[in-house]
A and B are shown apart, each in its own frame.
Chain A
Amino acid sequence: DQQVKQNSPSLSVQEGRISILNCDYTNSMFDYFLWYKKYPAEGPTFLISISSIKDKNEDGRFTVFLNKSAKHLSLHIVPSQPGDSAVYFCAAKGGTSGGSNYKLTFGKGTLLTVNP
């Protein structure tokens, strides 16, 4: 049972345009969401996060939107740069009661390619 889904395995965008990466989740108990960027053979790098009590968080070129009713979040990158090309993972925290609600559940990732 995949609780965090990234349905697009890949996305290709032109430099300077907006990149929109989507993520859906099924567990309504998730209370914190994060986006990570990952290059091959490296660990994920934290990008931006959002609490379930908010619907938007912005940090420079990165904005995360959360739609709780739809159980959907998205990461917007604008303007996109070739250096943004990487795999982007959506992750959710919580979802269980008791002491294990700190664990992260990851999606399978979306490969973003920004073309010069």
Chain B
Amino acid sequence: GAVVSQHPSRVICKSGTSVKIECRSLDFQATTMFWYRQFPKQSLMLMATSNEGSKATYEQGVEKDKFLINHASLTLSTLTVTSAHPEDSSFYICSATGGAGGGETQYFGPGTRLLVL
């Protein structure tokens, strides 16, 4: 299947700092990338959808200025958590579509664990 990577896998930062998470599709061109957040024992909650070269579409309740998304190329999307606070601590997962499956299937990255102290 298609491979999606995320970096870093884990990050610990101080409150007030910004953290950037990268999502890359390694063996296909991702026309669309998605960013999810998962709380313990909860389902994946979609935060935003990004298409290469255009602005991201955010889900209701997700602050655009807080979670900056840049989809600079067909293989790279970044999520920047600005001025992070302890409540932003979570597991962030990206996914991508656009591979051989014709876009029906989302392939997920391994996730990034963010801990804000």
Question: Please, which residues of chain A bring their CB within 8 A of the CB of B106?
Answer: 34, 46, 104
Say whether A32 faces chain B, with CB atoms less than 8 Å apart.
yes
Encoded as 1 (CB less than 8 Å from any A CB) or 0, chain B from 48 to 66 comes to 0100000001000000000
Minimum distance in angstroms from A31 CB to a CB of chain B: 9
Residue of A nearest to B44 (CB): A106
Decide if A46 touches B110 in the complex (CB within 8 Å): no
- The listed residue with most B CB atoms (<10 A of its CB), out of A43, A44, A89, is A43
| Chain A, range 60-116, C-beta contacts under 8 Å to B | 89, 93, 100, 102-104, 106-109
Using known A-B contacts A102-B32, A102-B103, A103-B49, determine if residue A108 contacts B42 with beta carbons closer than 8 Å: yes
Minimum distance in angstroms from A87 CB to a CB of chain B: 9
Decide if A41 touches B113 in the complex (CB within 8 Å): yes
Decide if B4 touches A43 in the complex (CB within 8 Å): yes
Minimum distance in angstroms from A44 CB to a CB of chain B: 5
